[in-house]
Amino acid sequence: MRSLAIVLFTAWVLVPSAMAEKACDSECATESSVFTGTGDCKVTFGATPEYPYDSRKDAECKISFLLDTAGVPFDVQPNCSEPEFNRSAERFAARMKYDLEDSRGNICFQQGVRQVYPIEYLLAGD
């Protein structure tokens, strides 16, 4: 029997949205930025990704989204190597919650900056 292994990455990439790109200067986050906080910023996962029932494939996904004022993703756009994983990745991202400030009040994630979160879906061997 095969078991499911889903790799959740603890690092994510920030991608400026088109709107933020027009209004920003040298302070904009780039793809190499992880977050702007001091280290106690975190992401809370509301659920684990579900493996599509009829799929026997592995897949890599990059989920991009914006954060609302409560740190909850919206405008979720999954991009998976296998299209049948898109819905699972989208549902997973919608249940995440990001800290917008750290314990010292420093901003962790900038509003208007697209977050990109990678996931790998892997079927483990017998």
Q: Which residue has the higher pLDDT, 13 or 80?
A: 80
* Mean per-residue pLDDT, 34-41: 56
- Between CA 126 and CA 120 the distance in angstroms is 19
CA angle 115, 87, 101 (to 5 degrees): 25
Residues 76/90, Cβ–Cβ less than 8 Å = yes
pLDDT in tens, 49-65: 888 888 889 999 999 99
| The pair of three-digit structure tokens given for residue 78, joined into one six-digit string | 């999954």
Residue 29 predicted with pLDDT over 90: no
Residue 31 predicted with pLDDT over 50: no
Q: What is the pLDDT of residue 36?
A: 47
Q: What is the pLDDT of residue 24?
A: 34
pTM of the predicted structure, to 2 decimals: 0.68
The separation between the first and the last C-alpha atoms of the chain, rounded to the nearest angstrom, is 5
Q: What is the pLDDT of residue 82?
A: 95
Q: Which fold has domain 3-124?
A: 3.30.1150
pLDDT band (50, 70, 90) for residue 6: low
